[in-house]
Amino acid sequence: MRNAASVLIALLALLGSTGSAAADPRIIGGRASTAAYPFMVALDNGCGAALVSPSWLVTAAHCGPAGAARIGSPRTDSGGEVIRIARRVTRSGTDLTMMKLSRPSTHLPVTLFPGVPGAGTRVRLLGWGCTSWPDCVTPATLQEIDLTAVDRAQCAGAGARDVCVSGDAEHSACHGDSGGPALLWYQDEWQLVGETRGAGDWNAECAGTTTYTGTHQHRSWIDAQVAT
C-alpha cells in the first residue's frame, strides 16, 4: 500500500494537481481521531504500527525497515516520543513484523484481543493513509473509522485466522494505513485484533474490504519476541 501511494503523490505533483481533499481530511469516510491512543505509532517509513510492550511494536512486513518511531501522538510531525528502531524481526511466511525500540517507551501498550472477531463485530481502524482515492491526500492528523468484521471469503488471500474488514468506495482503509491497527472495544479498553496487511478486494484497492493479519493466531510468537 505505501509504495503505491508514494508513486501516486509524485505523479500528482508533476501534473500540478492538489488532489480532491475535503476540508476535514480523513481515512476514506472516517474522521479525525476522537480519543487518545497512547499505543499508536507513526513509523518514519510512512507506515503505522502498534506498541504491544514498552520495547516492541507490531507492524507490517511489507512496509520494510524503519529508522524511528513516533509513539503516542495523533500527528506524524510532532508530539509523543520519538525512539530509534534497534531491531526488526519478521515471522516467516507472514506479513507480520515486530520492531524493537532502542529504549522502552513510557506510553501504555495495547492489549492483544484474546480471539478472532466474528462477522458483524464492530472494529476501529486507525491510520494516516490516503483520505481519498484515486486522488490520494494524506493527513498529518491521525484518522479513525468504525467498520465491521466480515466473512474472510470477502478478502482475497485471507487466512483462517486473519481479519477481513468491511469497506466500500466511501468507507475504507487505504494506502499509507499499512501496519496500523484494527481495534476492538473490550473490557473497557481498545484491544488489538490485527495489523493492516492490504486490500481485500484487489480490483477496488482502497475502496473495498481490507485484510488484517490477525494477532491472536500469532500470540505465542509475539510473546516470545517480547520476552527476548
Q: What is the pLDDT of residues 49-77, one digit of tens each?
A: 999 999 999 999 999 999 999 999 999 99
Handedness of CA 76, 81, 86, 91 (dihedral sign): negative
pLDDT above 90 (res 19): no
Q: Which residue carries 519476541 as its cell? A: 225
Please report, rounded to a whole number, the percentage of residues in the chain having pLDDT higher than 70.
Answer: 87
Q: How far is CA 211 from each of CA 16, 44, 88, 140, 161, rounded to the nearest angstrom? A: 33, 23, 22, 24, 11
**What is the model's pLDDT at position 203?**
65
d(CA 59, CA 188): 24
Among 64-73, 123-132, 144-153, 197-206, the least confident range: 197-206
Q: State the number of CA atoms in the 13 A half-sphere of 67 facing the CB.
A: 1
pLDDT above 60 (res 10): no
d(CA 145, CA 7): 25
Among 104-113, 166-175, 185-194, the least confident range: 166-175
pTM: 0.85
- The answer to whether the bond into 181 is cis (omega within 30° of 0) is no
pLDDT above 60 (res 21): no
Domains and CATH numbers, the chain: 24-32+112-217 (2.40.10.10), 40-109+218-226 (2.40.10.10)
